Each structure stands twice: as structure tokens, then as C-alpha cells.
Structure 1
Amino acid sequence: MTQVDVYRPDDFDEFWDATLRQVATVPLRPSFEYVAERSTDAVAVYDVHYDSWEGLRISGWYAVPRGSGPHPALVLVPGYISEPVIPRSWAEKGYAAFAVAPRGKLRSNERYNPGYPGLLVDNIVDHHTYGYRGFYVDSVRAVEALLTRPEVDGDRVGVHGSSQGGALTITTAALMPDVVTCGAAGAPYLCGFMDAARLTHSYPYEEINEYLRDHPDHEQRVARSVGYYDGINFAPSIQAPMLVYIGLEDDVCPPETGFAVHEAMKCDKELLTYERCGHDAGMHWAMDKVEAFLAGHLGVAR
């Protein structure tokens, strides 16, 4: 098994503390617009918007069981290319579920649209302007927007996603240790950036390889910059119980990086591995365990 080595900047915590203080000066301005044609007799659906890093307006879909609640919150964070779908199925299980579309997604691309490929290397040599700074904040603000709803139980907050969503689950849990109750991260991306790019030639990490072929003298600058964004550096700050699940033949997010981020976690944690599974992270078998994990920690009957 390849050793994954990650540079951790001395001012990592200070950088993110300053980031959260800065975005706190931006009014959230949450908007939840009921969408009758997308709702059902059991689930109410809302078109959501809120303000985030640099004042960008971020969108999402909110689905909640009809009734006063309180309902446990579940924030669903998307993969690199995938667009969030209306989370009616999670609402039917009893969650106040919010599927967020961070900047660059189709419904949140006003003033920011680096494209795919493109996001991974957008301003990658400057950690102050790197594209994922806003992306990580968008997920934090999604939790804050969800917690403005009166039917949501703020003491029960889960985060779930796979690939990029797995990364955002990790970073959000780390940046909101006093808020997030639990997280389930599949095939976590954005962990061990530099080693992952060496271990695979699949996209999105191939974007880094392509960038360094064009700019071979930038390798140290890239490594230093992404150190501020690496999930392995966020992992020790997580306090909530975490479930990580990976496919042992994943050629998109190498399993070595999944083992490394799980190892870096100091919280209560569980790791599921699936042989002969790739970037799906064994979803066919894993999802029942993911649902049980979330339900157990968030108090939802199954």
C-alpha cells in the first residue's frame, strides 16, 4: 500500500478560522420557495437560495416531510460533475433533506463557472483564491441555511455524499464540529491530492497532471496550496462519528487516500471496503449500511 504524504501548512487552522469569520460578515439571506408541482402528499419541496463566499448566490433543493417536526437535518453534497437532485426519497425516510448545488453547478454558476474539467485547477497555485475555498464555504453555509427552518432539529444534523460529496462531508464536519452530528463519506475525493494524481490518470486528478505538464516549475506551489484544502488535514478536527466507504479498485479516488483520511480521523469512525468495486465505492452493498448509520445517529426509524 502506497504511503500518502500530505503537506500541512502551519497556519492551516488560522486560514480557515479567518475564512469563516470573513464569510460571517456576508448576510445569509436564505430563501425557501415552495414548489407545488414538485411536491407530493407526503413531502413538501422548496427551491432554495442563499448567499455565500464573495456574495455568490447558491441554490439547492429542500425536501421535508409534511408536518411540524422537528425533523433531523440531512445535507446532501454533490459529486464533481453531478447536479443535485430533489431529495424526496430522503424526506420520505423522515429527514429535512437539503441537496446543495455549490458554485459552478448549473443553478449556482452566476459569476463563477470554471467548468469540468477546470474546477480542480482553478487558481490552484494561490490558496487564497483557489476555487475550492468558496466551494467548501458553500457547504458550510448550506448547513446554516437549513438551520434557519423552524421544522428542523438543530441538534440532529447529518452530512452525506460520495466522491466530491465525500470530501465535502469531511470538510463540513471539520469546519462545523459543534454542529454536525454525523457524516457518511463515500470514495472521498480531495484527499492526498498530489499522491492521488500520481496514483491515477483518471479525471478529475488528471487535471493536476495536465497542469504540471504545462507548468512543471509549479509543482511545489501546487502542493503547498492544496495543503490548505486536503481532507486529510481536515480529518483530525472532526468530532462527529463518521462512516467512510471505499472501493478497493477505485481508479478515480485511489483507495490509498481513503485509508489515509480515515486513519487521520480521531473521532468515532467506521471504514467499509469493497473488493472488485471502483468509484461506486460498493454502493450496492454500502447504502443500506449508510442509511442505518445515519438513522442511528439522527434518530430516524427504519
Structure 2
Amino acid sequence: MTRVREPQRYTVDVHRPDDFEEFWAATLQQVAAVPLRPSFDYVPERSTEEIAVYDVHYDSWEGVRISGWFAVPRPEYLPPPYPALMMLPGYISEPTVPKHWAKQGYAAFAVAPRGKLRSNQLFNPGYPGLLVENIVDPNTYGYRGFYVDAVRAVETALTRPEVDADRVGLSGSSQGGALTITTAALLPDVIKCGAAGAPYLCGFMDSAKLTHSYPYEEMNEYLRVHPDHEQQMAETVGYYDGVNFAPNIRASMFVYIGLEDDVCPPETGFAVYDAMKCEKELHTYERCGHDAGLHWVLPKVDDFLAGHLKPGAAGEGK
């Protein structure tokens, strides 16, 4: 008899370290001592009559210089201030210039955390590779700097005078969904809303058992070589699991998942959603995989973000 998959009934087992809060408070305190040194270089060949595009750089964890793209309406097209919309990337995807979002009235920032092509000078574990980079030590695990890079991107966006600090949103799918969750949790007083699709980095240990697709298969491959490291791995990823970040989120959240996702198991999507204590909404799509129902959900994501961030409504967030 064929077993019917019921991801919403699955119990995800996530270890939450006793010093989880202290670990991340210390991390943010440590990186605060690193000067941000933001730079925004205007790129005329990527700009249009309506949109100005900037090549962005800033300093982050351990002094790594991080890049991104910033696209913003020209004031004669739409007067400031603008809500900031942070576009967070997937595991292997490279950020593209977010002119589409800028044309809608956002100050749109496409983030390229460490390891991406324009941010890989001092950190480049590769793909596959990032997920298991120092995965047996929470202090040096690759995602520590990665999570901080997303936080520092928000801080960089807020240095812009045309950005309304009261209207900051996050959006991304897969790894971008994970970073939406972690960034909202690490900046609870800053982020107003977040849209997280097919969230990755939630229920790490269960995910590696529920799927044999990459990137989680990196963990299985690592354990085949180092089976004695499983406990250390579980202890490390507890500091990085979206399920443990979720209760700290105060922003309004929009979560969407595909019920046949074989990359980021829907079981873990339900788990991170259930762990959220904020205002939230969940959208699930049958017969959809890692795309998480993209064709149907994108208009809903647009409406959710616009409803909270009000692009084109200059000054309403103040």
C-alpha cells in the first residue's frame, strides 16, 4: 500500500541551544565593531530614464567586502522617500539588478552574500560546499557570516537618505526564504514584513533524511565520510535553524511552500511557520515542487509586500 505523504502532520525535531540568544547577540555585537564603509557607485549603462542603478559594497563579518545591486526610482519619476525591499538570493543563484521592483516604487537592494561571484574574495567554499563549510563548529560555520551579510545589507540600505526606515521588507525563496526568516528575527525592530518561499535551512537534520536532493545531500555525503560527526553537526546547525529564529520575528510574514518539494521538504516549511508567533499567513500548493507555486503565488506576494510597504505612498511610513 502506497503511503500518503502528510507533511503537515510530520514532527520536525530541532535542537535549540541553551545559549542561542546569547550567541547571536554576541555575533551582532562583534560585527558592529566592523565599520560598514558603504559605497554606492552609479552605473549609467544599467540605469534607465526612470530608474537609477548603483553597484553597492559594504564590509561585514570578519571584514569580508560584500556586494549588491541597488535600484531606486529617479525623484522626477517618483518622489522619495521609498520603502526598502531587500531581495535575498537562492543557494546557487546570483542576484540580478532589481529594476522591476524599483519601477514599482521600491528602493530595491539585491544582496550578494559571501561566496557569490562578486563577494568571494575571502570566502569561496563553492556549490556544493557552502552548506557543510565548518559545519561541526558553530563559531566558524560558513553561514554565520552569511546571515550577518544579510543583516548588514539592511543597515547599508538604511544609510540612503531616500529610504524610509519605517518601511523595510524582505523577500526571497529557498535560501532567500531562509535569509528572510533569519534577518527578520535578527532585526525585529527594523523589518516590517517578509515573504519567504520554500524556506531552506529549516529543520536541517530532518531535511537531510527526508530528501536526497542537493543542497541537503551535502550533509549526507559529509556524514558518509565522517559518521562520528553527526552529533557535532546537529549541535552546530541548532544555532542556524530557521525554526529557532522564527519565534523572534515581529514582522508580518507570508510563507509559501510546494507540497511536493524534494529540495526543501514541506514538512520543514510547516514547522517554521508553526514556530512563528507574529502575524502570518501560509500558502500551500499541491503538485508543486521547489517552485512553491510560483505562477500562482507571485501576484499574492506582490500584494502582500505592497500592502505593508506602500510603494508610491511617499512619507506614509513616517
Give TM class, smaller chain.
over 0.9
**Deviation of 1:51 (Å):** 0.1
Question: Which of 259, 266, 279 pairs up with 2:270?
Answer: 259
| Residue of structure 2 in register with 1:62 after alignment | 70
In the alignment, residue 288 of structure 2 is paired with which amino acid?
A: C
**For residues 295 and 13 of structure 1, what CA distance do their matches in structure 2 show?**
32
Q: Does the CA-based 8 Å contact 1:240-1:268 persist in structure 2?
A: yes
In the alignment, residue 97 of structure 2 is paired with which amino acid?
A: I
Question: Which of 133, 140, 144 pairs up with 2:155?
Answer: 144
In the alignment, residue 80 of structure 1 is paired with which amino acid?
A: Y
1:261-280 to 2 correspondences below 5 Å: 261-280=272-291
In the alignment, residue 82 of structure 1 is paired with which amino acid?
A: S
**For residues 37 and 251 of structure 1, what CA distance do their matches in structure 2 show?**
40
SS at match of 2:41: strand
Query: Does 2:103 correspond to 1:92?
Result: yes
**Deviation of 1:133 (Å):** 0.1
Spell out, residue by residue over 1:67-119, the C-alpha distance to the aligned partner (whole angstroms, 9 max, x if none).
14000000001000000000000000100000010000000000110000000
| Residue of structure 1 in register with 2:222 after alignment | 211
Question: Which of 181, 186, 191 pairs up with 2:197?
Answer: 186
**For residues 176 and 226 of structure 1, what CA distance do their matches in structure 2 show?**
20
Q: Does the CA-based 8 Å contact 1:187-1:247 persist in structure 2?
A: yes
State the aligned residue count. Answer: 302
Q: Does the CA-based 8 Å contact 2:82-2:312 persist in structure 1?
A: no
Gaps of 5+ in 1: none
Q: Does the CA-based 8 Å contact 2:56-2:67 persist in structure 1?
A: yes
**For residues 167 and 13 of structure 1, what CA distance do their matches in structure 2 show?**
18
**Deviation of 1:299 (Å):** 1.1
Alignment RMSD: 0.8
1:107-146 to 2 correspondences below 5 Å: 107-146=118-157
Matched residues, percent identical?
77
Q: Does the CA-based 8 Å contact 1:8-1:228 persist in structure 2?
A: yes
**Deviation of 1:193 (Å):** 0.1
Gaps of 5+ in 2: 1-8, 314-318
Could you tell me the TM-score, scaled by structure 2's length?
A: 0.94
Q: Does the CA-based 8 Å contact 1:295-1:301 persist in structure 2?
A: no
Query: Does 2:97 correspond to 1:80?
Result: no
**Deviation of 1:3 (Å):** 1.1
Question: Which of 37, 42, 46 pairs up with 1:38?
Answer: 46
Could you tell me the TM-score, scaled by structure 1's length?
A: 0.99
| Residue of structure 1 in register with 2:237 after alignment | 226
Question: Which of 175, 194, 197 pairs up with 2:186?
Answer: 175
In the alignment, residue 36 of structure 2 is paired with which amino acid?
A: L
**For residues 84 and 276 of structure 1, what CA distance do their matches in structure 2 show?**
28
SS at match of 1:112: coil
| Residue of structure 2 in register with 1:47 after alignment | 55
SS at match of 1:106: coil
**Deviation of 1:242 (Å):** 0.2
| Residue of structure 2 in register with 1:299 after alignment | 310
| Residue of structure 2 in register with 1:24 after alignment | 32
In the alignment, residue 177 of structure 1 is paired with which amino acid?
A: P
